[in-house]
Amino acid sequence: MRHCAGRGACSEGVVVTRTPVVFIHGAWLRASSWESWAERFARHGFRTFAPGWPGEGPAGGPPVVADVFGGVGLDVLTEHYAGVARSLDASPVLVGHSVGALVAQRLVGSDVGRAAVAIAPAPMGGVPLPAGVARLWTPPSPAAGPLLSLTARRFHRVLANTVEGPESERLFARHTMPVPRRLLADLAAPVPKAVSDAGKAARGPLLLVSGQEDRLVPDSVTRAVYKRYGDCTAVTDLKQFADRGHSLVIDGGWRSVADYVLTWLEEHGIRARSAG
């Protein structure tokens, strides 16, 4: 009997499984921010999933269902993606950006996922943001409402600062949505929920990625997070991209970041297909 999975080659009595990859998007961006990544990883043989946040609308429709989306905090978001990962027939690679990168770290530190890639990660508890940057993550008065949006001008200034105006406008129109005030409050709490188990030795490999021109999660913050893992015996690597901002997963340079991640996975023995 021949057993095959996906597009993998197979032989008599061998089951070929395609490794799943779950993409977790970050604050102010939609799941569509992973479209190009999902296609590229699929072409390399991975099974790809880019589910939205709870209450996030489908591409082409209203961005969010306000009454559901407004209740999303960090724990809700983490459990949402834990459920996605656990529903798969094989342990996935977790690739996150911004808040999604923090979620990926929390999950792999809890034995969910075989490896994690944290791109421009919102910092874990105990890693402070510079004062000027912290203001960008601090929720305004509750009078501002449960959902907080960026204007196109602010998006260009703090998130897509390394690209030209026309490209920023295109990215803004295609990929942005509000962020729940509750989520920002969780990240800014005096006893922060944004905690990952940096000392866990049994977890899978972790890659941290930063853009050296990132204004929302500065490179110095990602380096500080990397140092938090310094006493951990599990694989933890850091890659810095010069002249890249927080939009490095969606702007014109996304491919170089994605290809670096694909190479890193291969180097650590995480391949698109496995036979059993």
Give me the domain span that covers residue 260: 16-271
Q: State how far the Cα of 66 lies from the Cα of 56, in Å rounded to an integer.
A: 9
What CATH number should be reported for the domain holding residue 83? 3.40.50.1820
pLDDT tens track for 154-165: 999 999 999 999
- Residue 267: other Cβ atoms inside 10 A: 11
Q: Give the separation between CA 206 and CA 215, rounded to whole angstroms.
A: 23
Residue 116 to residues 2, 48, 144, 234, Cα–Cα distance (Å): 32, 14, 35, 12
Determine the distance from the C-alpha atom of residue 4 to the mean position of all C-alpha atoms in its chain, rounded to a whole number. 30
Query: Does residue 7 form part of some domain?
Result: no
pLDDT confidence of 28, banded at 50, 70, 90? very high
Label residue 79 by pLDDT band (50, 70, 90): very high
User: The dihedral of CA 262, 266, 268, 269: what is its sign?
Assistant: positive
Q: Count structural domains, the chain.
A: 1
Q: pLDDT tens digits, residue range 33-70? A: 999 999 999 999 999 999 999 999 887 677 788 889 99
Tally Cβ neighbours within 10 Å of residue 14. 13
Q: What is the spatial distance between Cα 216 and Cα 208, in angstroms, rounded to a whole number? A: 16
Asked whether residue 23 is domain-assigned, the answer is yes
pLDDT tens column, 100-159: 999 999 999 999 999 999 999 998 877 888 888 888 888 888 878 899 999 999 999 999
Q: Give domain status of residue 206, yes or no.
A: yes
Distance of CA 117 to the CA centre of its chain: 7
Residue 6 lies in a domain: no
Q: Give domain status of residue 3, yes or no.
A: no
CA dihedral 135, 139, 141, 144 (to 10 degrees): 120
Q: In DSSP terms, which residues pair with 238 in a beta bridge?
A: 208
The mean per-residue pLDDT over the stretch 1-29 comes to: 69
* Residue 1, domain member (yes or no): no
Task: Count the Cβ atoms, other than its own, within 10 Å of residue 160.
Answer: 26
24: in domain:
yes
